Amino acid sequence: MTDSSLITHHSSPSSLYLVATPIGNLEDITHRAVRILREEVEIIACEDTRHTAKLLNHFGIKTRTVSYHEHNEATRTDELIGLMKEGKSVALVTDAGTPAISDPGFRLVRACIENDVTVVPVPGATAFTSALVVSGLPTDAFFFGGFLPSRTAARRARLAELRDTPATLIFYEAPHRIHNALRDALEILGERHAAVARELTKLHEEVARGTLSELMTRFGGDATVRGEIVLLIDRTSLNQATDANRPSISGRVAALEAEGKSTRHALKQAAREYGLARDEAYRRLIAERG
């Protein structure tokens, strides 16, 4: 006998469905998602109604849509909660992937919980997990950091915060910033294995793998990069395996000074050898010298 609960989920009359949509290939949507969008909700809240219309038209879905994005999230949340209190069910979708993952949605989910409205996940594609499993990097533990800050100082500070995180680091990044993001990651985190996944499930899908320095060259400042990008970085610096046999930063700087180099140039060379940002090498030097 087939368990009907494995086929159809019957929620309360008023529910918010978080419906994952394809990140590129339209075939990557579940039968359940199509059924819910077509039959079980009165309203579909979309990040971009014009973008979602292409998906809905492809599957012949005529359900009414409304916009729900970062600029109207506060006011639209109240409207949708009001509709669900009246007994209507709502589906929340993003332009691609799972709602509320680096997209608006958290506010609406929290409001539903506070108003005793059932929240139902409808799983599907997510760009960062798809990128992780094809990256070749460890999958036993990972940290998803959303988008890195766009400004250099803030981006470098964020990377510094995550330097010692014992997990594969995953970020979303814009095409015009990927070179700078790789550069900062190399300087702050040191040389590591990494991957850049671009246009996943689409015609021009690409997964570039290598060290941070290799990828920085691959996606150089003059290179034309397009599409949605996921940046993945290994937890382990390639220098860590040899660090145990190396002298401390202060010891290496002292050795270089003994060769006639100035402290400034000795520190710069030591930082490069250890795969450290100059500021980090200086911090360690001061700490080691007390």
Instruction: Indicate whether 2 pLDDT > 80.
Output: no
Instruction: Indicate whether 246 pLDDT > 60.
Output: no
Query: Which pLDDT score is estimated for 14?
Result: 87
Query: Which pLDDT score is estimated for 247?
Result: 67
| Spatial separation of the C-alpha atoms in residues 158 and 148, rounded to whole Å | 7
Residues 214, 250 share a domain: no
Residues 90, 192 share a domain: no
Q: Where among 218, 233, 248 does a domain terminate?
A: 233
- Residue 169 CB neighbours (<10 A): 23
In one-letter notation, the amino acid at residue 219 is F
Instruction: Indicate whether 116 pLDDT > 80.
Output: yes
Is residue 59 included in any domain, yes or no?
yes
Is residue 209 included in any domain, yes or no?
yes
Structure tokens given for 44: 């579909």
| Spatial separation of the C-alpha atoms in residues 103 and 30, rounded to whole Å | 21
Query: Which pLDDT score is estimated for 1?
Result: 44
Residues 32, 114 share a domain: yes
CATH code at position 16 = 3.40.1010.10
Is residue 1 included in any domain, yes or no?
no
pLDDT tens-digit map of 70-90:
889 989 999 999 999 999 999
Helix and strand totals (H; E) in the chain: 12, 10
Q: CA dihedral in degrees (82, 83, 88, 90; nearest 10)?
A: -100
Q: Where among 100, 125, 150 does a domain terminate?
A: 125
**More confident position, 285 or 114:** 114
| Spatial separation of the C-alpha atoms in residues 124 and 134, rounded to whole Å | 17
Instruction: Indicate whether 160 pLDDT > 80.
Output: yes
| Cβ burial, residue 184 (10 Å; 0-12/13-18/19+) | buried
Is residue 5 included in any domain, yes or no?
no
**More confident position, 255 or 119:** 119
> pTM (2 decimals)?
0.78
Phi, psi of 269 (to 5 degrees): -70, -40
Residues 178, 145 share a domain: yes
| Spatial separation of the C-alpha atoms in residues 63 and 54, rounded to whole Å | 13
Residues 185, 97 share a domain: no
Q: What is the mean pLDDT of residues 79-104?
A: 94
Structural domain including 183 reads 128-233
Residues 191, 225 share a domain: yes
CATH code at position 148 = 3.30.950.10
Q: Where among 71, 97, 125 does a domain terminate?
A: 125
Query: Which pLDDT score is estimated for 32?
Result: 98
Is residue 4 included in any domain, yes or no?
no
pLDDT tens-digit map of 248-271:
888 889 888 899 999 999 888 888
**More confident position, 13 or 116:** 116
| Spatial separation of the C-alpha atoms in residues 123 and 98, rounded to whole Å | 7
Is residue 182 included in any domain, yes or no?
yes
Residues 138, 206 share a domain: yes
Residues 152, 220 share a domain: yes
Candidate from 14-28, 37-51, 204-218, 221-235 with smallest mean pLDDT: 221-235
Number of domains in the chain: 3
